[in-house]
Chain A
Amino acid sequence: MCLGIPGKIIELYDQSGFLMGKVDFGGVLRECCFVGLPNAQVGQYAVIHAGFALNILSEEEARITIDALQEISDLASDSDAGNE
């Protein structure tokens, strides 16, 4: 129910006064409602739930988290190697 699927915004358009868009879910295209994201832009990734765009996925934030974890992981590997 609260399942949210990330997809790439391919197109945004007005439909009877409602902001709608086409979203690419790994090759599957679907029309979604963007009334909740009036500033969305083509090329961004959004999380879609029940055909409604909940929010924009931040690539920058995603990268910060992964980079920080990668750094810890590398440090742990170096430490293990040093103990051998």
Chain B
Amino acid sequence: MSDGFPLADGYRDPTLVATLLAQLHVSVTHPWVIMEICGGQTHAIMQSGLDQLLPPQIELVHGPGCPVCVTPLELIDKALDIASRPEVIFCSFGDMLRVPGSSRDLFSVRASGGQVRVVYSPLDAVRLAQQNPDKQIVFFAIGFETTAPANAASVLQAEALGLTNYSILVSHVRVPPAMHAILGSPQSRVQGFLAAGHVCAVMGYWEYPPIAEKYHVPIVVTGFEPVDLLRGILMTVKQLEAGTSEVENAYPRLVTREGNPAAQALIQRVFEPCDRSWRGIGNIPGSGWKLNHAYAQYDAENKFDVASIQTRESEICIAGDILQGLKKPLDCQAFGRQCTPQNPLGAPMVSSEGACSAYFRFHNPMEISQ
């Protein structure tokens, strides 16, 4: 389906895809491991079959850029607790509803009578707060830098409307600290990065040169269409072959070095940096945002007294290793057997950005059965 942008078809043009693939085959002489940070890119690569067309020397590993996947179990259990309360209408993006908590998920809360609603935007949740003054509306504010401005805007809108029945359960995470954590690990195999295009649409890429310099990795801001993805991979490979580690932009129709300063200002007005635990990975210092003191009244964790929670993870799920690019979904003994999108053991099998979900939907069934 056309999205209306006049040049959209050019970025899906088979002739240009073939041209880029030919360049890639000519350019690569060594084996290289490249991580695409963003789970949306993982899905786009597999959906278009690009992973099957790349030269065999190029290995793509899948990064932690799936907010549903990295939202910590403790926060999901808190969400389940809050959503179960009769005075609450709990709002969330649809992906979160099937993510397993320690003992259940938001779907089962809804089946038990909890008011759990799927919204497209946090601003829809603010509208619900206006329409339901006798209810507490809680929005599950997960996401990376891409989603933070929308969530910040919802808090500012609630403030402007004088709403006291709106709050957000915050699990915001940031890309640069995760890149430091991945590259700083002695187990890391990552030699180059495709940076997430829509994160950079907001944040720009001014934060990345120190990372490229410190770890000697090329970082290329990359979009989501087949031509975008191949350009990003080609630019990364050319740098790896040349031994350079620069930050480049393969998505200039949307991304500038500075990003969107007005959106960044919204984030800074409402949030402040914090340490954040990533599901399957652990605590990454300075990797999150939480509501700052001025907006603490909109923090659902302050508003609802949630008793201390004992979390329990699946013993066989290897989501943490997959999210760090250490293993692939097909390395998991539960993949496609005990763990399916209908009955997930880990969040990467649920989310539309999860690597396990991408493999389950798009990978060669023969390879999966082996």
Contact = CB atoms under 8 A, between A and B. Distances in A.
Interface of A: 1-8, 16-18, 24-27, 33, 35-38, 45, 47, 49-52, 54-59, 61-66, 69-70, 72-73, 76
Interface stretch (B61-69, B271-279, B299-307): B61-69
Interface in B1-22: 1-8, 10-11, 13, 15-16, 18-20, 22
B289 to A, nearest CB: 15
Nearest to A16: B160
A73 B16 contact: yes
B320 interface: no
B201 interface: yes
B7 A66 contact: yes
Nearest to A18: B157
B144 A69 contact: no
A36 B154 CA distance: 12
B236 interface: no
Chain B residues touching A, range: 35 or more
Given A2-B65, A49-B147, A73-B16, A8 B198 contact: no
**A interface: dominant SS:** mixed
A35 B122 CA distance: 14
A17 B311 CA distance: 43
A69 B228 CA distance: 11
A14 to B, nearest CB: 12
A82 to B, nearest CB: 16
Nearest to B15: A73
A6 B153 contact: no
B4 A1 contact: no
A66 B9 CA distance: 10
Contacts of B254: 4, 47, 54-58
Interface in B205-227: 224, 227
Contact of B22 (A38, A51, A56, A76): A76
A17 B161 CA distance: 10
8 contacts: A1-B93, A1-B143, A2-B40, A2-B198, A36-B202, A37-B263, A51-B121, A55-B202
Given A8-B4, A18-B157, A58-B253, 17 more contacts: A1-B353, A2-B146, A2-B353, A4-B201, A16-B157, A26-B2, A36-B202, A37-B262, A47-B198, A50-B93, A52-B149, A57-B254, A62-B7, A62-B11, A66-B16, A66-B227, A72-B23
Contacts of B68: 1
B149 A36 contact: yes
Interface string B144-156: 1011011001001
A58 B353 CA distance: 26
Contact of B7 (A38, A49, A59): A59
A49 B260 contact: no
A82 B65 CA distance: 45
Interface string B64-83: 01111000000000000000
User: Which among B8, B11, B121, B142 has the greatest number of chain A C-beta atoms within 10 A?
Assistant: B121
Contacts of A38: 262
A8 B5 CA distance: 7
A68 to B, nearest CB: 10
**In the A-B complex, the 6 residue pairs with the closest CB atoms:** A51-B121, A52-B150, A36-B263, A66-B10, A62-B253, A61-B253
A65 B253 contact: yes
Q: Which of A2, A16, A65, A66 has the most CB of B within 10 A?
A: A2
B349 interface: no
A52 B331 CA distance: 37
Contacts of B123: 33, 51-52
